[in-house]
C-alpha cells in the first residue's frame, strides 16, 4: 500500500502534462530526418555529380558537331588565318574551337566563326584529334590512349592532326574527336566515375563525315 500511495503522489506531482508523456509526438519529424536526411542529401549530391558529367558530355558533342562543320565545308583547309598562313594549323583549329577565329576565304572575303566550346569547359583541358580514313567500314573511332609519367603528368595523348590525304582534303572521310579531361573525383555513396589519373574523367565526342568539294585559294597548290 505504501508503494501505491507513493505512485499516486508522484503522479499528482507530474500533473496533467505527464498524462500525455508517452503520447507526446513533438520532435518526431526532426528525429526521422536525422535518420534519413544524410542518405537523402547524399543521393541528391550523387545525382548532381552524375548530371554534371552528362551535361559536359552533351556540350562537348555540340562543340564537336560545330567543329566538324568547319572541316566539312573547307573552312579549316582554305581560310587565311590572322597570322598570314593559309589553311588552319592544329593550334589555329583548336583556337577556333575555343575562342572563335576570323580570316579571309579564297575569294578574299572576311569570314569568321564563333567560339564553339561552352564557357563551362576549359580550353586547357581540351585535346583535338583529326584523322582521315579510306572507308567508313574501317574507320576507328575509339578514344585515343593518354599516357602519363610516374608523377601523373600527361606526356602523350596519342592524337594527331591530319585532314588531308595525298595532298587534298576534298571528298575525304574525316574522323574528328574532341577529348576532354573533366575534373571530378569520388562522389557520395561510393560513386566513382573517374577513368583517368588525377581524378579526371575522359569525355570523348566523335564526328565522322565526308568533306565537300570546296574551292582552294590560288596560293594553295592543294587543300
Please write the tens of the pLDDT for every residue from 1-51: 555 455 545 555 455 555 555 565 666 677 776 777 677 787 888 888 889
Q: Which residues does 196 contact at the CB level (< 8 Å), separation at least 6?
A: 146, 181, 202
Q: Residue 20's pLDDT is what?
A: 59
Give the pTM: 0.81
Grid cell at residue 64: 564537336
pLDDT of amino acid 5: 57
Please report, for the chain, the start and end positions of each structural domain, with discontinuous segments joined by +: 31-74+119-210
Distance CA 172, CA 180 (A): 25
Euclidean distance between CA atoms 134 and 172, whole angstroms: 8
pLDDT value at residue 215: 86
Q: Report residues of the chain scoring pLDDT below 70.
A: 1-28, 33, 37
pLDDT at position 27: 65
pLDDT at position 111 is 92
Cell digits for 44? 541528391
Amino acid at each position: 500500500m505504501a508503494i501505491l500511495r507513493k505512485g499516486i503522489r508522484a503522479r499528482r506531482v507530474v500533473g496533467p502534462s505527464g498524462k500525455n508523456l508517452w503520447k507526446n509526438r513533438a520532435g518526431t519529424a526532426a528525429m526521422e530526418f536525422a535518420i534519413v536526411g544524410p542518405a537523402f542529401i547524399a543521393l541528391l549530391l550523387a545525382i548532381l555529380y552524375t548530371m554534371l558529367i552528362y551535361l559536359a558530355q552533351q556540350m562537348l558533342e555540340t562543340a564537336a558537331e560545330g567543329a566538324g562543320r568547319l572541316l566539312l565545308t573547307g573552312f579549316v583547309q582554305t581560310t587565311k588565318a590572322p597570322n598570314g598562313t593559309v589553311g588552319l594549323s592544329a593550334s589555329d583549329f583548336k583556337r577556333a574551337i575555343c575562342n572563335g577565329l576570323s580570316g579571309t576565304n579564297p575569294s578574299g572575303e572576311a569570314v569568321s566563326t564563333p567560339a564553339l566550346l561552352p564557357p563551362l569547359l576549359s580550353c586547357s583541358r581540351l585535346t583535338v584529334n583529326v584523322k582521315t580514313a579510306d572507308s567508313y567500314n574501317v574507320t576507328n573511332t575509339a578514344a585515343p590512349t593518354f599516357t602519363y609519367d610516374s608523377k601523373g603528368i600527361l606526356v602523350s595523348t596519342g592524337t594527331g592532326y591530319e585532314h588531308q590525304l595525298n595532298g587534298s582534303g576534298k571528298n575525304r572521310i574525316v574522323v574528328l574527336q574532341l577529348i576532354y579531361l573533366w575534373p571530378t573525383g569520388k562522389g557520395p555513396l561510393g560513386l566513382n566515375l573517374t577513368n583517368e589519373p588525377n581524378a579526371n574523367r575522359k569525355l570523348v565526342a566523335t564526328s565522322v563525315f565526308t568533306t565537300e568539294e570546296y574551292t582552294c585559294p590560288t596560293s594553295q597548290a592543294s587543300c
